[in-house]
Structure 1
Amino acid sequence: MFPELRSMAAKVIGIDKVIDSIVTRLGNIHKAYLLDDYAEGRDSGIIDLLLVGDINQYHLNDLSRKTERYIDRRIRSLVLTLEEYVEFSPKLEGRPKLLIWEKRQCQKEINGFQNV
């Protein structure tokens, strides 16, 4: 999706608030994906996120609860380290997903794990 369209879609369904409230405040995040319904643009009321990095789960849960009240939608998060993501990513094949945030060096780091 073109960046402008993605931005417009995100603002309409409230994803920009999720990104601001959760993804950018949790520490060392490498990637963030929307999964399933929201990745396809359907507002099911449940936002499924895949977060890749070293994330404080307690802080994530706290921010998710606050954001849920603000946007009136439920947030489900799957948190994986880079190593876990490399192993798990084949299971995402064919599943709707939309990359919504990526650390600039992330692809180099993932490639480093795959070459080990």
Structure 2
Amino acid sequence: MLESLITSKTRVRLLLKLFLNPGSSGYLRELADEFGESTNSVRVELNRLAEAGLLESSTEGRTKVYRANSGHPLFPEIQGLVRKTMGIDRLVESVVAKLGDVKLAFVTGDYARGVNSGLIDLVLVGDIDRGYLQSLVSRLEGDLKVKIRWLVLNEAEFGTLRTNFEGQDALVIWKRED
């Protein structure tokens, strides 16, 4: 979807990487290697997005690190567009909202890092109907053309395993406010 609106594949990859999970960041060579692009093409797009104020940068040692500018007025809209492109918005609406007492839902792995690998790692916390979840996931996999690997934890299990998730990239897609 983004490819039809934005003709630069490098720019699309940068938006997916940095806006899907605003906590993620990257530096020029790392991004070029990840995308399989030349450093020059990545540099041009990083500069354009930074000049537009969509990215902010900081220097860590001798390396310039880029991340999404969450304070930019268009940030919520761009992030929403990126999430729709990745299918996460449909995942939330179709799976999480109808499953029972969902306390927390988050994506880990490649999608949380902004990489579209075709595999979504979904973690759900709460009292969830697993049979209904499996039927919804099966339908979504066909619609989105991705594989969804899911894990359901109750609150006690999540409390025990929480430290296992802390070192990973995690993108919270649903959190019930009590």
Range into which the TM-score falls when normalised by the shorter chain = 0.7 to 0.9
**Residue 61 of structure 1: which of 115, 134, 147 is its match?**
134
Relative to structure 2, which stretch is displaced further, 87-96 or 45-54? 87-96
2:106 is paired with a residue of what secondary structure?
strand
Report how many aligned residue pairs link the two structures: 105
Give runs of ≥4 in structure 1 deviating > 6 Å: none
RMSD: 1.2
Partner of 1:15: 88
Q: Unpaired runs of 5+ in structure 2?
A: 1-21, 23-69
Q: Counterpart of 2:175?
A: 102
Bigger RCO (CA 8 Å, 6+ sep) = 1
Normalised to the residue count of structure 2, the TM-score between the two structures is: 0.57
Shift of 1:6: 3.1
What are structure 1's unaligned runs of at least 5 residues? 106-116
Q: What TM-score do the two structures reach when normalised by structure 1?
A: 0.86
Matching residue's letter, 2:174:
W
Shift of 1:96: 1.2
Deviation at 1:71, TM superposition (A): 0.5
> Aligned partners of 1:30, 1:72: CA distance in 2, in Å?
27
Determine the C-alpha separation between the residues in 2 that align with 1:80 and 1:63.
18
2:177, 2:125 → 1: CA distance?
Answer: 13
CA distance in 1, matches of 2:166, 2:105: 16
Asked if 1:31 is matched to 2:104, the reply is yes
